Amino acid sequence: MQQDMIAAEDSNLLRLLSDALARRLRQDGRNATRVAPDSDLVELGLVDSQGLLDMILDAEEGSGQMFDAEGMDFESGVTLRRLAAAFAAPA
């Protein structure tokens, strides 16, 4: 049961982050194509630091969860899946 709850939270966060990325791309006049959860967003040129921050803030607002920057290894690449995993449930 606990595993199902975690999977649902990750799925919701992936959707929120994907939606936020699509909005950012559209605002920049770019096609909002579907991005694989394990694609490196920075390497692909899809986000910069401001875009990344905006995506995180959108996902925090939509999920009610806080992003834990210490739970994210930015040097290993910035992917939707890694971003989703770095969110912590509210205490």
- Mean pLDDT value across the chain: 85
Phi, psi of 36 (to 5 degrees): -60, 145
- What's the rounded mean pLDDT across residues 66-82? 91
pTM of the model: 0.82
What tokens were used for 39? 């694609």
Domain assignments of the chain as residue spans, ordered by start: 2-88
Q: Does residue 81 sit in helix, strand or coil? A: helix
pLDDT surpasses 60 at 42: yes
Model confidence at 29, in pLDDT bands (50, 70, 90)?
confident
What architecture is domain 2-88?
Answer: Orthogonal Bundle (1.10)
